[in-house]
Amino acid sequence: MATLRFSAAARCAAKHRLLAPVLLLLLITSCAPPSTLPTDLRSTSSAPSRQPGGTPPATALTDPAVPTLRSLAQAKGRYVGAAVDPRPLLGEPLYAETLAREFNMVTPENALKFGRTQPSRDRYTFRDADAIVAFARANGMAVRGHTLVWHVVLPRWLTGGAFTREELLAILRAHIATVAGRYRGQIAAWDVVNEALGNDGSWRDTIWYKTIGPEYVDLAFRWAREADPQARLFYNDYDCEGLGSKSDAVYELVKGLRQRGVPIDGVGLHMHVRIDASPEPAEVAANLQRLAALGLEVHITEMDVRIDGAVTEGKLARQASIYKDMLRVCLAAENCRAFVLWGFTDRHSWIPSYFRGWGAALPFDEAYRPKPAYRALMEALSTP
């Protein structure tokens, strides 16, 4: 069925005699009728406590004889994903090819953030997000929406607006309705709220918290459910992958949401780690288990493993073993449905500009060659 849909769209695109694969893929999307959404994006349920799920889409544009991260994850019924940026996606054929071959899920790294989608009040812009969603549709990939409520990348009209509580509530509601509503039925999972807690697990003193109070989280989830009843709704945060005070605080937060009947389906664990500091696999497993007991799915949402200084074989081996350990823990947990990296090639990664002297955090090098980390991920996925 997926093949048939792809063929019809490809014939349409062929009329336009495009040769560049990326343009071809985008044209396929524009030719495809709305009913050609990947099956999983149409079948995800809104029921918060049903079996964790969503079925990864059928592999597109790959040779089934050659295993990839995508084909192996697909065989296990899991998502393996990467954060993406529209510039290389549209400008570097190897970026687009590698992404479509190796992953069945994408997260727009920046394109769906508040300041990007509503830079001026009530004036929305979706060009970058549309390009990523179109690419995902053309390649049978699921999309993680990131993120509806965060305290970073907020436009100046919002942060400098001195809005009252009622005004800010109206702004947030309209934003969620517009952004989640635009992609209704096309987003497998939304990071509804990102990083609401500080490093010590207390409420982060953001514009949302200060002006609205903690109930902004409950309301955001309810409004997201209204806007896109099919999307699975996630709370997403960092430094809470293993056990500890932040992880406990996230657990208590989502437990409270569940108890109050707030429509949350899962927790996103970032997993931005270092080769010399990463969570204990047994602690991550325990964390996944206690979240499962609340009826919640988990997605590893932003994994990378940064290396300091010169990249050596030893450091690459250490990096590979961290990737492998974390993927194994995820695969061993029935509720851990997606394993998403924050990028996939060292050519495009947020790490070097944020952490001076650190880099090489992803499983493909700057020339898109697989690193030991890639082989380690393949091994974890190949284990029955």
Q: Which stretch binds ligand G3I (CB under 6 A): 109-117, 179-187, 240-248, 289-297?
A: 109-117
128 binds ligand G3I (CB under 6 A): no
Known catalytic residue at 195: yes
Q: Which of 350, 359, 374, 376 binds ligand G3I (CB under 6 A)?
A: 350
Plot region of 309 (φ>0 → left; ψ -120 to 50 → alpha; else → beta): left
Closer to ligand G3I at the Cβ: 270 or 306?
A: 270
246 binds ligand G3I (CB under 6 A): no
The interface with ligand G3I within residues 269-308 (CB under 6 A) comprises: 270, 302
Closest CA to 274 of 373, 361, 365: 361
Q: Which stretch binds ligand G3I (CB under 6 A): 108-116, 164-172, 244-252, 254-262?
A: 108-116
Element (H, E) at 340: strand 336-341
x/- map, 3-32, ligand G3I, by CB under 6 A = ------------------------------
Closer to ligand G3I at the Cβ: 100 or 148?
A: 148
CB half-sphere exposure, 87, CA atoms < 13 A: 6
235 binds ligand G3I (CB under 6 A): no
- What are the phi and psi torsion angles at 152 (to 5°)? -110, 155
Minimal distance in Å, beta carbon 204 to ligand G3I?
13
Q: Which stretch binds ligand G3I (CB under 6 A): 39-47, 106-114, 169-177, 318-326?
A: 106-114
The interface with ligand G3I within residues 51-80 (CB under 6 A) comprises: none
- DSSP single-letter state for residue 292: H
Q: Which stretch binds ligand G3I (CB under 6 A): 67-75, 107-115, 209-217, 312-320?
A: 107-115
Comparing every residue's Cβ against ligand G3I, the nearest one is 350
CB half-sphere exposure, 317, CA atoms < 13 A: 3
Closer to ligand G3I at the Cβ: 141 or 351?
A: 351
Q: What one-letter code names the amino acid at 134?
A: A
Integer CA distances (angstroms), 200 to 46, 76, 81, 192, 248, in order? 32, 36, 29, 21, 10
Q: What is the DSSP string of 77-132?
A: T-EEEEEE-HHHHHH-HHHHHHHHHH-SEEEESSTTSHHHH-SBTTB---HHHHHH
x/- map, 180-219, ligand G3I, by CB under 6 A = --------------x-------------------------
Tell me, by CB under 6 A, how many residues bind ligand G3I.
9
125 binds ligand G3I (CB under 6 A): no
Closer to ligand G3I at the Cβ: 59 or 194?
A: 194
> CB-based burial of residue 50 (10 Å sphere; 0-12 exposed, 13-18 middle, 19+ buried)?
exposed
Q: Which stretch binds ligand G3I (CB under 6 A): 105-113, 167-175, 203-211, 322-330?
A: 105-113
- Per DSSP bridges, beta strands 105-108 and 142-149 are parallel
Name the token pair of 297: 């799915």
d(CA 170, CA 70): 41
- What are the phi and psi torsion angles at 187 (to 5°)? -115, 120
Radius of gyration of the chain (CA): 20
Name the token pair of 276: 């010399």
Element (H, E) at 267: strand 266-269
109 binds ligand G3I (CB under 6 A): yes
317 binds ligand G3I (CB under 6 A): no
Q: What one-letter code names the amino acid at 211?
A: T
Q: What one-letter code names the amino acid at 181?
A: G
x/- map, 148-187, ligand G3I, by CB under 6 A = ----xx----------------------------------
The interface with ligand G3I within residues 83-102 (CB under 6 A) comprises: none
Report, as residue numbers or ranges, the catalytic residues: 195, 302
Residues of this chain that bind ligand G3I (CB under 6 A): 109-110, 113, 152-153, 194, 270, 302, 350
